[in-house]
Structure 1
Amino acid sequence: MTAMTGSSAQAGVDREFWLIVSEVFGDTKPTFQGEGPSTGVPALFIRLAQCNLTCSWCDTKYTWDWKRYDIAKETHRRSVEELIAWALAYDVELVVISGGEPLLQQRALVRLVRGLREGGKRVEFETNGTVLPDSSLLVDGVHFNVSPKLANSGVAEAKRIVPAALEAFASSGRAVFKFVTRSVAELDEIQQLVDDYGLAPVYVMPEGTTPEGLIETTRVLADAVAARRWHFTQRLHVLAFAEARGR
C-alpha cells in the first residue's frame, strides 16, 4: 500500500476518516486467519496501532510500546478510502482488523467497514473486549473475536474487564470469546467470566510465540478444555510461519 501523497492530502480528505495503522498484509505474501472460528481461511489483515492494555506476553508490542519501539517508524496515517481500495484490489473475502486495540479508532472504522461490506468483504475484528462497540458495527457480515484478558496478562482486573462492553458483545450475537491461556488452573478464571457475563461461545487458545511453545501448552490444556466442552483454537500462523511478522 502506498503512502498518501501531498495532492491527496490537499484534496480535503476529512481527518475524521484517517486511521493510525501499524501494518497491512496478506497481499504480496498470502496468509490466512490463524485463530478462532475462521482459522485457516484466507485473509487480508489491517493491523491498527495503539492499545489501552499492556499485556506482558503481547506479541505485537510494536503497535503500542513506544518505550521499546519508534512510533515514527511503526505507525502510518492512512485514509479510510485508501484502505478500502487496497482491500478491494484482492480476491480475498475475509478482512481481519486487529491491533493493538482497533476499537479505539472505531469512529473511522464505521466508514471502513461500510466500504468493505459494500465491496463484498466479510470483516472480523480482533478486540480485547474493553471498548463498547458502536451499534453501526453490529451488522451482517461483521464478527468479533473478543479476547478478554486474564490475570496472566499482568494487567489490573479493573482495566482489562469492562462489564458493559462484555455484556454488549455477548448480547450482540456477533461475537465469540477467545481466551489466551497458559495453565489448567486458568480455566476456572475463564469459567467465572463466562458465568458473570454470559459469554458464549468460548474458545481457549494456548499462549505461545513459537511452534514448540504452542505444542507444549496445547498438550497441557487439551484434556481439560475438552472436558468443559469448550472450543479449542490454535495460533496457526505461529505454527506455519514461526515468528515471521506480517504473516
Structure 2
Amino acid sequence: MSKGTAPAFTGSADELWLIIAECFGVEQPTFQGEGPSCGCPALFIRLSRCNLTCRRCDTKYTWDWSQFDPHEESTKQPVAHLLEWALSSPVELVVITGGEPLIQQRALISLVQGLLAAGKRVEFETNGTLVPDPALLMDGVQFNVSPKIASFGVSKEQRLVPAALEAFAACGRAAFKFVARTVPDLDEVAELVDAYGLAPVWVMPEGTTADALIATTRVLADAVVARHWHFSTRLHVLAFADARGR
C-alpha cells in the first residue's frame, strides 16, 4: 500500500464498508500530533465526508467538492480490510478522523470492536455535532471533541449541538480540544466550557507552518495557563511541515 491510501481488497458485496480519504502510519510511521496523546505513535484512518463547511478546515479534500474530486479523494473500503491493515502494525493507537467520522457510525462500531479485541486503543477526532452511538462508548475508546468557534465561519446552529456536547461531556470518554488564534477566542471557549460542562479542556494554536504555530503559541500561552487548561501544539506540523499522510 502506498502512503496515504488503503490497499486493494476483494471481498463480498454485503460487507460493511466505510468511505475513506486515506490511511497512513504503517509503511511510514508517524504519531498523534495533537491533544492528550500528542507524540504517541499512531495509525490514522481518515474518513471522507463532513457535515460542516469550516472555512479554516485543513482537510477540505474530505468534503469540499468545489475544490476536490470525490472520486479521486475517496474510496469505499471494507471494514474487514481496514482492520487487517491496522493489525499489520504493532502500533497500539489507532486514530479515526475525518472529515467527520461519526457520520459513518454503524460501520465504525464493527471496526472499533475488532481493533479493541486485538489490543489496540482508539481515538476519534470529531467536531462534536453528532451524538455518539452507545455501542462506541467502550473501554479503550477516547473522543477528542473539537467544537468549532465562530471564527470557523459556520453558523452557531450547525456547529454547536447541545445534545451532542452534553452526551460527550457525560460519557467520561471525551477530551475537548479547541483551535484558537487570539485571546478573545479563548473567552469564547470559556463560555462554551461553562455552558456545557466540558472537561478536560485542551487548547491548540492554529497554524500550518512552524512559524505560525510558534507565534500563536506565544499569543495564547499566558491566557491558557491562567485558565488552568491544557495546551497542545501541532507536532506533525513542526516535524513534517504539515505534509499530507504524516
The two structures have a TM-score, normalised by structure 2, of: 0.97
Separation (CA, whole Å) in 1 of partners of 2:131 and 2:8: 31
Unpaired runs of at least 5, structure 2: 1-5
1:169 matched to 2:168: yes
1:58 matched to 2:57: yes
Partner of 2:7: 2
Separation (CA, whole Å) in 1 of partners of 2:133 and 2:178: 23
**Matched position secondary structure for 2:183:** coil
Judged with a 3 Å threshold, the aligned counterparts in structure 2 of structure 1 residues 12 and 62 are, in CA distance, closer, same or farther, namely closer
Number of positions where the alignment pairs a residue of Structure 1 with one of Structure 2:
241
**Matched position secondary structure for 2:212:** helix
Partner of 1:189: 188
Partner of 2:204: 205
* Residue-by-residue CA offset, 1:158-205 (whole Å, 9 max, x unaligned): 000000000000000000000000100111111111111000000010
**Matched position secondary structure for 2:176:** strand
Separation (CA, whole Å) in 2 of partners of 1:227 and 1:57: 26
Separation (CA, whole Å) in 1 of partners of 2:8 and 2:131: 31
Deviation (angstroms), 1:90: 0.4
Structure 2: which amino acid aligns with 1:43? Answer: A
Separation (CA, whole Å) in 1 of partners of 2:44 and 2:176: 20
Partner of 1:230: 229
Partner of 1:99: 98
Unpaired runs of at least 5, structure 1: none
Partner of 1:25: 24
Partner of 1:68: 67
Separation (CA, whole Å) in 1 of partners of 2:42 and 2:144: 15
Separation (CA, whole Å) in 2 of partners of 1:93 and 1:183: 35
Separation (CA, whole Å) in 1 of partners of 2:9 and 2:82: 11
The two structures have a TM-score, normalised by structure 1, of: 0.96
Deviation (angstroms), 1:209: 0.8
Deviation (angstroms), 1:13: 3.1
Structure 2: which amino acid aligns with 1:231? Answer: H
Separation (CA, whole Å) in 2 of partners of 1:158 and 1:34: 29
Deviation (angstroms), 1:3: 1.7
Separation (CA, whole Å) in 2 of partners of 1:127 and 1:12: 29
Separation (CA, whole Å) in 2 of partners of 1:210 and 1:48: 24
